[in-house]
Chains A and B, each alone.
Chain A
Amino acid sequence: MTNKICLAVFIAVFASNFSVNAQGKLNVVTTTEDLAAIAREVGGDHITVDSIAKGYQDPHFVEAKPSFILKLQKADLLILVGRELEIGWLPPLIQQSRNSKVQVGADGYLDASLQARILEIPQGQITRAEGDVHPLGNPHYWLDPENGKIIAREIFDRLSRFRPNEGAFFEPRLNDFLNRLSDAEKRWGAMMAPYKGTKVVTYHRSFPNFAERFGLDVVGYVEPKPGIPPTPQHTLDLINEMKKANVKVVLVEPYFDLKTPNSIGRATGAEVLVMPPSVGGVKEASDYFKLFDYDLNLLINAIKKIREN
């Protein structure tokens, strides 16, 4: 008797609910808010976009919460940063999503890094003696607007593949985004022109693409090695180096502790700036354009202040 009840419960639980989604809005899930912002530019109101990580959290250390499984379960398209940024949390989420569309290698799995310009791809022997190195290159590539364009094109390609009938909607949106981004780049380039070559120190290696695009010179890191918290000796060395090279700016991602950067700032007279590397890192950086607006203004105001003193 109990066996029959067990069987009935099993059948009720496992055999029910084969719902079929009607051709509604395409459901896009991204791992970070930057990718969500770009997807929104291209997809407009023809797609729904949801990001797993928040802009103010460290994208290396997102927890694989079951609520994210529910997001992925309903996704038509998953867009990820790639280059092993999400290696600690995305694979179990994909595996448990029960969604064949977003499995690795499926059409709904888009690694946005494949066409982008990737920096710091390690050459030669790589070991973890160098810390938590990314063997496939630095994954913070979205901080170059040119890579933003490449990501947007890839998202456009994928959206058009899923919804060929809506290509006429997505294409003008893509072109509009690319044009606005080109205009903004000219503006940002002009803003930064007087400050080219400014030497900075960053907490983690989050800004190589940003530095390359806007002419910053990253001379050191608060972390002695990627993923290794600051040590007293390294901090002392960094302070000496900064004094020697006259570095007056320290950039810190919003999710790192400010204690060490502040003490470096006090010792060297440098400005410590909490600079979001992602959309949503601060309230003001609410889309891809505003992220660069916010970061560049923050930087320029600080440099101006330093030059006045």
Chain B
Amino acid sequence: MKPHVLALLLVFAMPPGSEGFAQTPTVAEINALRAQIDALKAEYDKRLQALERQFEALQGQTQPAQPAPTAQTPATAPAPPQTADVPAGAQGAGGPAGQLPVYGGATAGSKIFNPDIAVIGDFLGAAGAAGSNNVNPDPALTMHESEASFQAIVDPYARADFFFSFGEQGVNLEEGYLTFPAIPGGLLVRAGKMRAAFGKVNTLHNHVLPWTDRPLVISNLVGGEDGINDAGFSAARLIPNPWIFLEATGQVFRGDSNDLFTASKRGDLSYVGHLRGYQDITESTNIDIGVSYSRGHNGSGIVNNSDLGRFRTALYGADATVRWRPLRRAIYHSFVGRSEFIWSRRGQPNGVQNALGYYFSGDYQFARRWFAGIRYDRSKRADEASLTDKGQSAVLTYWPSEFSQVRGQYRRTQYATGPTANEFLMQFQFSIGAHGAHPF
């Protein structure tokens, strides 16, 4: 403390300007000055001691060692210099909590209400003998998708989620919907454009798939990469029972889903129903089973924008997922086994096509950042059920961190038309922005 006091005194004692040094001071003047300095020093010492005592007293009060049982101990957390409280409604749900920094002064407080924004990039590369895959060829290198998500709580009753997928050429609203999470009657209601609750893979965004592609059965029977993804309403309810988690979902859509469903007039709605059962077998192992149904008009009878034949497609699906993840080593080891069977009944001018397809897959995490997986595909084609495509894949995935992923997939496909395609697919995925929820 002393050197500080002296420095302070020097500053104080130094008269303005430098003329003091120009004159030759007398002994009397020096003595007077010294007396002044001593007086000041004594005074500041006294003040400093008083301040120190006050500081200690205050510290004693906030010192959590002896709070009275009823006294509220104030939070002593050091806060960033300029902060703003997060509004109560915006916390959690992937949203902020506590205090947020304010960057641009008081008016920037409006940023607090900005949605959580994240962008996930999906870069794909494909290699294989030239022309080996002439049915569904992938380009050598492509920035396959950049998915931007905007998510926030709308008001005390609803939240909104938007997912825009930017391809190299165009933009597509992958999903954009409003969710009412707490409607009376235990309903979870959604309105907007969304991936339909048909099976498992149809509900998943590209970046949470354990593969670089989607199984053949999805491409052949359920509308491909975008799948059943349409504008409509969804209502899901838990069915109370003493045994298992049981959820029923009913959805009504406009009736346009890629090349699967086509609505030629307003009444051509499509429907999806899904029943999901889930049960923990042990704390590490669980099983997830679902059945799905979907129906809508297809485009096979549409000539000059009018549906001459009124042909429909009905889809029936069954899915099963077995998961294993030991809690004590949850970040190092896990296994997911999954299968979906889908049966498509497609009405066409040339008769009904009955096509069945399925896949089996297994993914094993053998180290904190390493996953290995295999998949077997087999599917007939929806519009020509006499043609059967088959495929086998082996996948290796590496996670540098929770926010990026490198994946290689060897895929062998025996298309019913054309030669067997042997391909190597490579994928980089990376995520910036808000921390999303981990998929389950």
Binding site for B on A (CB under 8 A): 10, 13-15, 17-19, 54, 56-58, 61-67, 69-70, 73, 80, 82-84, 87-92, 94-100, 103-105, 109, 111, 113-119, 121, 123, 128, 131-132, 136-137, 146, 149-150, 153, 174-175, 178-179, 182, 185, 227-229, 254-257
- Which of A54, A105, A118, A255 interacts with B77 by CB under 8 Å? A118
- Taken together as a complex, chains A and B put the C-alpha atoms of A179 and B67 apart, in Å, by 10
Alpha-carbon distance A6/B267, docked complex (angstroms): 18
Contact B93 A91 (CB under 8 A): yes
Given contacts A63-B330, A88-B438, A131-B401, 13 further A-B contacts (CB under 8 A): A13-B248, A56-B327, A92-B440, A95-B188, A96-B188, A98-B182, A109-B92, A111-B92, A121-B78, A136-B98, A229-B368, A229-B369, A255-B331
**CB-based contact B237/A14 at 8 Å:** yes
Q: Which residues of B contact A111 (CB under 8 A)?
A: 91-92, 97-98
Known A-B contacts A18-B185, A88-B435, A254-B328; A128 and B92 likewise in contact (beta carbons under 8 Å): no
In the complex, are the beta carbons of B330 and A10 less than 8 A apart?
no
Measured CB to CB, the nearest residue on chain B to A54 is: B327
Contact of B182 among A14, A64, A100, A137 (CB under 8 A): A100
User: What's the Cα separation between A109 and B402 when bound, in Å?
Assistant: 28
Can you pick out 14 interface pairs between chain A and chain B where the beta carbons lie within 8 Å of each other?
Answer: A19-B240, A54-B283, A56-B327, A65-B440, A67-B245, A69-B245, A94-B93, A98-B188, A115-B73, A121-B77, A121-B78, A132-B402, A136-B98, A150-B73
Which residues 315-332 in B have Cβ within 8 Å of A in the complex? Answer: 323, 325, 327-332
Name the A residues within 8 Å of B183 (CB-CB). Answer: 98
Which of chain A's residues have a CB closer than 8 A to the CB of B69? 174-175, 178-179
Given the complex, which residues of B lie within 8 Å of A255, measured CB to CB?
A: 327-331
Is B98 touching A57 in the complex (CB atoms < 8 A)?
no
- Minimum Cβ distance to chain A for residue B335 (Å): 13
Q: Smallest CB-CB separation from A99: which chain B residue?
A: B182
**Contact partner of B401 among A63, A67, A228, A257, CB < 8 A?**
A228
| Cβ–Cβ contact B278 & A84, under 8 A | no
Which residues of B line the A interface, CB within 8 A? Answer: 64-67, 69, 72-73, 75-80, 87-99, 153, 156, 159, 179, 181-188, 235, 237-240, 245, 247-248, 250, 276, 278-280, 283, 286, 288, 323, 325, 327-332, 368-369, 401-403, 432, 435-438, 440
Q: Which A-chain residue is minimally distant from B240 (CB atoms)?
A: A17
Assess the A116–B65 pair: CB atoms within 8 A: no
Closest chain-A Cβ to B353's Cβ sits at a distance in Å of: 21
Q: For the complex, what is the distance from the CA of A88 to the CA of B434, rounded to whole Å?
A: 11
User: Which residues of chain B come closer than 8 Å to A62, judged between CB atoms?
Assistant: 330
Whether the Cβ atoms of A95 and B250 lie closer than 8 Å is no
Cross-chain contact B280 with A95 (CB below 8 angstroms): no
Q: Which residues of B contact A179 (CB under 8 A)?
A: 69
**Shortest beta-carbon distance, B216 to chain A, in Å?**
28
> Whole-angstrom distance between the alpha carbons of A175 and B71 in the complex?
11
Report the bound CA distance from A14 to B185 in whole Å.
Answer: 8
Q: Flag if A137 contacts B93 (CB, 8 Å).
A: no
Interface centre among B87, B183, B369, B401 (most CB of A within 10 A): B401
**B330 and A57 contact, CB distance less than 8 A:** yes
Minimum distance in angstroms from A287 CB to a CB of chain B: 20
A94 CB contacts on chain B under 8 angstroms: 92-93, 181
Q: Give Cα distance in the complex from A6 to B230, angstroms.
A: 21
Query: Is B435 in contact with A87, judged by CB distance below 8 angstroms?
Result: yes
Q: How far is the CB of B179 from the nearest CB of chain A, in Å?
A: 7
Contacting residues, chain B, for A65 (C-beta < 8 A): 278, 280, 286, 440
* A residues near B92, Cβ cutoff 8 Å: 80, 90-91, 94, 104, 109, 111
Q: Shortest distance in angstroms between B322's beta carbon and chain A's nearest beta carbon?
A: 13
Give the secondary structure class of B's interface.
loop
Consensus secondary structure, chain A interface: loop
Across the interface, which residues of B come within 8 angstroms of A114, CB to CB? 75, 98
| Alpha-carbon distance A56/B240, docked complex (angstroms) | 30
Identify which of B185, B237, B368 contacts A257 (C-beta below 8 A): B368
- B93 and A104 within 8 A (CB): yes
Asked whether A105 lies within 8 Å of B88 as measured between CB atoms, the reply is: yes
Cross-chain contact of A63 among B72, B185, B328, B440 (Cβ < 8 A):
B440
Contact of A185 among B65, B73, B91, B440 (CB under 8 A): B65
A225 CA / B337 CA spacing, docked (Å) = 32
Q: Which of B90, B183, B247, B438 has the most chain A CB within a 10 Å cutoff? A: B438
Which residues from chain B contact A96 at a C-beta distance below 8 Å? Answer: 181, 188
Complex: A222 Cα to B21 Cα, angstroms = 61
Closest CB in chain B relative to A239 CB, distance in Å:
21
Least Cβ–Cβ distance between A74 and chain B, in angstroms: 10
* Residues of chain B contacted by A254 (CB below 8 angstroms): 328
Measured CA separation A10–B274 after assembly (Å):
12
B73: nearest chain-A partner, CB-CB:
A150
Q: Are A89 and B238 in contact (CB under 8 A)?
A: no
Residues of A within 8 A of B99 (CB): 136
With a cutoff of 8 Å between Cβ atoms, the chain B residues found around residue A95 in the complex are 93, 159, 179, 181, 188
Q: Which residues of B contact A153 (CB under 8 A)?
A: 72
A95 to B89, CA, bound (A): 13
Q: Closest approach, in angstroms, between the C-beta of A133 and any C-beta of chain B?
A: 10
A57 and B240 contact, Cβ closer than 8 Å, known pairs A88-B438, A115-B75: no
Nearest-neighbour CB distance to chain A for B315, whole angstroms, equals: 15
9 closest pairs, A vs B, by CB?
A: A100-B182, A146-B64, A105-B88, A104-B92, A91-B93, A66-B278, A57-B327, A66-B245, A118-B77
B239 touches A13 (CB 8 A): yes
A297 vs B284: C-alpha distance when bound (angstroms): 31
Closest to A62 in B: B330
CB distance from B159 to the nearest CB of A (A): 7
Q: Quick one: which of A17, A116, A227 contacts B402, CB cutoff 8 A?
A: A227
- Whether B438 lies near A83 (C-beta < 8 A) is no
